[in-house]
């Protein structure tokens, strides 16, 4: 295989199209040249690597892209190393809420230990993060752990967040069990994330186990929007319990006791680099402090005790 043809294919696959690739490539090249050279690569391999309209990698194209992307995706870092520049880089992927509420302070601490630290952040779910790490485009992910990770990946559970229902602070509802009955009877609308998200999936699965049916009437893209719509009395919100919600005077959280919890974890592949290892350690310590600080507050159904969590995190990080 011609290495230049492979590089062109890498850019086409990464940017999902020849036109987009020509705009984003680090050097000038015309669209006809890219088209002909990628077509030559396909001819040499005797297979189609991607569908043109709409763009979609074939199984062969996906396999080839997964193989070459760690090399081409990190050429810029290697250039810095060869030129004698400090290449302190960490690429994170994961939950918007975690990136916003917890990661900034940890990154500020990292910059004190790794001068000139460059950080990239991508908001994405577990499957997307697995793909980015597998392709060498991310180093560490912090997400809801929805399923078993592929071989070669390692993880640590940072917290198990209990589910709750949100109502306005002035609401007369005091128990989640009352709302479950009212929702099943069609008396109150449910506000929730889309059904493909893990939070509504585990909620609906537990409802089905109990023989209850309460479908979402208002879908939102984030827990923040759930809270906003609840404040505006548009329905009852499905959420996970967080300190931010607990301290919100406009809302009341009603614990969903006996429901499964939402596991939040960090994961990576292979042996983590020095910066990733330092951040994993910081995440473990931050999680431990977070649990210690809130274990004396309102009941955290399903949240593990500090001692239990500390033991699991210590065993996980010892392997690093």
Q: Which domains does the chain possess?
A: 3-69 (1.10.10.10), 77-160+262-318 (3.40.190.10), 163-255 (3.40.190.10)
To 10 degrees, what angle do helices 31-45 and 3-15 make? 110
**Helical (H) or strand (E) element with 94:** strand 89-94
Tell me, what's the pLDDT at 291? 66
d(CA 297, CA 3): 59
- 140, pLDDT greater than 90: yes
Tell me, what's the pLDDT at 302? 35
d(CA 139, CA 158): 17
d(CA 43, CA 113): 50
CB 235 within 8 A of CB 188: yes
pLDDT digits 0-9 by tens, 150-175: 888 999 999 888 999 999 999 999 99
pLDDT digits 0-9 by tens, 233-250: 999 999 998 877 888 999
DSSP 239: E
Burial of 71 (0-12, 13-18, 19+ CB in 10 A): middle
Residue range 79-86: mean pLDDT, rounded: 66
Compute the mean pLDDT over every residue in the chain, rounded to the nearest whole number. Answer: 85
pLDDT digits 0-9 by tens, 243-269: 778 889 999 999 999 999 999 999 999
Q: How confident is the model at residue 300 (pLDDT cuts 50, 70, 90)?
A: very low
Tell me, what's the pLDDT at 64? 93
Tell me, what's the pLDDT at 294? 55
- 298, pLDDT greater than 80: no
Tell me, what's the pLDDT at 308? 38
DSSP string, 260-305: PPEEEEEEEESS--HHHHHHHHHHHHHHHHHHHHHTTSS--TTPPP
Residue range 99-118: mean pLDDT, rounded: 86
Higher pLDDT, 229 or 83: 229
Tell me, what's the pLDDT at 179? 94
Q: How confident is the model at residue 315 (pLDDT cuts 50, 70, 90)?
A: very low
d(CA 147, CA 250): 35
Q: How confident is the model at residue 89 (pLDDT cuts 50, 70, 90)?
A: confident
The reported pTM is 0.64
| Cβ density class 244-282: b for 16+ within 10 Å, e for less | ebeeeeebbbbbbeebbbbbbbbbbbeebeebbebbbeb
Residue range 72-99: mean pLDDT, rounded: 77
Tell me, what's the pLDDT at 81? 66
Higher pLDDT, 229 or 305: 229
To 10 degrees, what angle do helices 103-113 and 274-294 make? 140
């Amino acid at each position: 295989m011609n290495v230049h043809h492979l590089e062109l294919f890498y850019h086409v696959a990464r940017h999902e199209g020849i036109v987009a690739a020509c705009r984003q490539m680090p050097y000038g090249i015309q669209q006809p040249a890219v088209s002909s050279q990628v077509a030559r690569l396909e001819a040499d391999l005797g297979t189609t690597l991607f569908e043109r309209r709409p763009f979609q990698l074939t199984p062969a194209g996906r396999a080839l892209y997964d193989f070459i992307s760690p090399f081409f995706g990190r050429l810029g870092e290697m250039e810095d190393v060869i030129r004698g520049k400090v290449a302190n880089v960490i690429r994170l992927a994961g939950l918007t809420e975690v990136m916003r509420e917890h990661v900034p302070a940890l990154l500020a601490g990292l910059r004190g230990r790794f001068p000139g630290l460059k950080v990239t952040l991508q908001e994405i779910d577990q499957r997307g993060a697995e793909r980015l790490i597998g392709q060498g485009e991310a180093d560490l992910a912090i997400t809801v752990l929805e399923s078993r990770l592929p071989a070669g990946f390692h993880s640590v559970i940072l917290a198990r967040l209990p589910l709750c229902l949100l109502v306005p602070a002035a609401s007369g509802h005091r128990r989640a069990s009352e709302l479950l009955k009212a929702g099943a009877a069609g008396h109150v609308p449910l506000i929730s994330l889309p059904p493909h998200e893990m939070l509504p999936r585990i909620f609906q699965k537990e409802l089905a186990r109990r023989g209850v049916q309460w479908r979402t009437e208002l879908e939102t893209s984030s827990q923040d929007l759930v809270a906003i719509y609840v404040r505006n009395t548009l329905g009852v919100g499905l959420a996970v319990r967080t300190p931010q919600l607990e301290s919100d005077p406009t809302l009341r959280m009603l614990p969903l006791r006996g429901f499964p919890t939402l596991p939040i974890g960090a994961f990576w592949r292979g042996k983590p680099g020095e910066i990733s290892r330092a951040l994993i350690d910081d995440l473990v310590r931050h999680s431990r402090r977070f649990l210690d600080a809130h274990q004396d507050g309102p009941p955290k159904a399903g949240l593990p005790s500090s001692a239990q969590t500390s033991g699991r995190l210590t065993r996980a990080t010892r392997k690093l």
